[in-house]
Amino acid sequence: MLSIKNLHASIEGTPILKGINLQVNPGEVHAIMGPNGSGKSTLASVLAGREEYEVTQGEVIFQGKELLELSPEDRAREGVFLAFQYPIEIPGVSTTNFLRTALNQIREYRGQEPLDAVKFLSLMKEKMALVEIDQKLLSRSLNEGFSGGEKKRNEIFQMAMLEPKLSILDETDSGLDIDALRIVSNGVNKLKSPSTATIVVTHYQRLLDYIVPDVVHVLYQGRIVKSGSKELALELEQKGYDWIKEEVDTAKATA
């Protein structure tokens, strides 16, 4: 589904990603972990098409298409969804209105008829139950005055509504208490299907107790330096990142 080859990216001339290789197949959950500043969020942003990042090398194929050639909105319409680490506030625009605009533009791109109000609302009802979100929240201005947990829940709700092929969760666990974490993870798990894939970007292992990954990758200094099963995450939790850093640094020194 997603194939990243030798991806290099920089921001304002500073290289952040230095040769990422990653293969994600349908039905899989990949976790990307790593110490602060390793490039985790950059990877998520580059895949979504944030302009500040300049891709200097490499390619990303998403369902047979050159992802990097597409505009951010077309990537979304092709089925890439990013759950933001810091969801953005849009005053005066309700989540409902926002999602209706989004969904209908996606449907138009795919040659589908726009959903009428009745169908849209019934879809909303169905998805609301999935992430245990209150309708009142959805008629308020998007993310404005939402608590940290509400914002993240709203991200997952949007994900449920837009039914992406590939979901990228950027530090979705940050700022969540244990109940919110459970609700958000439940939502993500319920949305999993054999035809969709998820990339979970996280600093902590905690989230992976709820969203169980098929593969865990460790990102350090802009490269994936280690990949393994979910046990790797547990190991990181116990030992921290230092041993990986040392491994990499030693390898560099001997090279």
Whichever of 172 and 205 has its CB closer to other proteins, that residue is 172
Q: How far apart are CA 147 and CA 133, in angstroms?
A: 13
Q: Given the rule CB under 8 A, which of 101-109, 130-138, 197-205, 220-228 is the region that contacts other proteins?
A: 101-109
Choose which of 14, 36, 71, 238 interacts with other proteins (CB under 8 A).
71
Work out how close the CB of 52 gets to other proteins at its nearest, in angstroms, rounded to a whole number.
8
Work out how close the CB of 144 gets to other proteins at its nearest, in angstroms, rounded to a whole number.
10
Q: How far apart are CA 203 and CA 31, in angstroms?
A: 10
Q: Given the rule CB under 8 A, which of 31-39, 98-106, 120-128, 222-230 is the region that contacts other proteins?
A: 98-106
Whichever of 1 and 142 has its CB closer to other proteins, that residue is 142
Q: How far apart are CA 79 and CA 165, in angstroms?
A: 5
Residues 155-194 that bind other proteins (CB under 8 A): 158, 162
Binding of other proteins by 106 (CB under 8 A): yes
Q: How far apart are CA 231 and CA 237, in angstroms?
A: 10
Quick one: how far is CA 226 from the chain centroid? Answer: 20
Choose which of 4, 16, 30, 49 interacts with other proteins (CB under 8 A).
49
Q: How far apart are CA 176 and CA 68, in angstroms?
A: 32
In contact, 71 and 117? CB cutoff 8 Å: no
Whichever of 89 and 246 has its CB closer to other proteins, that residue is 89
Q: Where would I find the H helices in the chain? A: 40-48, 72-78, 95-109, 117-131, 135-139, 148-162, 178-191, 230-239, 242-254
Whichever of 12 and 113 has its CB closer to other proteins, that residue is 113
Choose which of 27, 63, 98, 174 interacts with other proteins (CB under 8 A).
98
Q: How far apart are CA 174 and CA 186, in angstroms?
A: 16
Binding of other proteins by 97 (CB under 8 A): yes
β 80-83/65-66 pair status: unpaired
Which chain residues interact with other proteins by CB under 8 A? Answer: 48-51, 71-73, 75-77, 81-82, 84, 87-93, 97-99, 101-106, 108-109, 113-114, 141, 158, 162
